[in-house]
Amino acid sequence: MAAVASDFWAGRPALVTGATGLSGSWLVRRLHESGAHVVCLVRDWVPESELVRSGLAERVTLVRGDVSNGPLVDRVLSEYAIDTVFHLAAQAIVSTALADPVATFETNVGGTWTVLDACRRAPTVRQIVLASSDKAYGDQRDLPYREDSPLQGRHPYDSSKACADLIAQAYAACFGLPVVVTRYANLFGGGDLHWSRIVPGTIRSLLRGEPPVIRSDGRYVRDYLYADDAAAAYMLVAERLSERPELAGEAFNFSNEEPLTVLELVERIAALFGSSLDPVVLNEASHEIRRQYMSAEKAKELLGWQRGFTLEEGLRRTIEWYRQFLGSAGTTEVPPKV
């Protein structure tokens, strides 16, 4: 995946919100390795997060606080002369959004307008990349989702991402804010400790020699993207925006464009273990869309984006991460790291 220049990130002050999350930790690693001066706005100290566990937290600038705290965001942008903002902070669990929609809206919607309005006032900010989601599209008859598909999320998490997405577009259109929206497929990779998600939950079960558990009926269709590919895409968007300001207000889908049922994904993971354990299908999922997957053609054509990992390569690397994290390969053989 080409960058604008080999030294683009060298010494560049970049703010990452949501740095203890899955994609945030991978992004911080890539930015740090590229020579950026990385500042992370972190609400909670999460010792198990990859940001802390890997030692990255000791090599970047950490600011403790909430993205909804406007004066704090103002101070961070000013004090560190931030050039590029990656706004990834969000409450990202669908079931949590159903249980506590107000807190989800406060973080995902209120946090977004707080960050964007602070960027509007900050003279040093040149690029802003906002993390939306495929969930913003809601339930669509025509698939795959394309960037001109309507945003019609109806459930709390889905609608919170649609709102944040539209707010970003409004700031670009009305105030000329240099913001681009990224809409990702389901992300997976090492560092995701939300065990209710299908990839980490399945891997942990198989490492323990236990049958994986599927909350739904296994027939829901999704597409996926490896977290390191997501991190590279965030950086590519910022680089392209720096040379092409007309991209402000645009949205881009990122996906491996390989839709699978949940059951098929579990079978792929089990095959990498050589496991014959049958999954336990609970059929308890509710308020979730049956079929959703995206086209990434726009990102390929306008940004020159290409994924760096196949689904199988990403899964192999993810399995190895959890094998090391959990400290045991369980009763099954784990494929070697590639």
Name the residue with tokens 């240099």.
Answer: 178
- The torsion region of residue 158 among left (phi > 0), alpha (psi -120 to 50) and beta comes to alpha
How many CB atoms neighbour CB 189 within 10 A?
26
How many CB atoms neighbour CB 75 within 10 A?
14
And the tokens for 130?
A: 């906002």
Peptide bond into 144 cis (omega under 30): yes
Is 157 labeled as catalytic in the residue annotation? Answer: yes
DSSP string spanning 48-99?
TSHHHHTSGGGTSEEEES-TT-HHHHHHHHHHTT--EEEE------HHHHHH
Q: Spell out the residues 6+ positions from residue 134 whose beta carbon is closer than 8 angstroms to its own.
A: 145, 183, 184, 185, 186, 223, 253, 255, 292, 293, 294
CA pair distance 42, 49, nearest whole angstrom: 12
The residues that bridge with 226 in the sheet, in sequence order, are 188
- The catalytic residue among 157, 171, 184, 234 is 157
Nearest to 214, CA basis, from 288, 144, 140: 288
Rg, Å, the chain Cα set? 19
Query: Is-contact 223 264, C-beta < 8 A?
Result: no
And the tokens for 134?
A: 């495929």
Q: Which residues are known catalytic residues?
A: 157
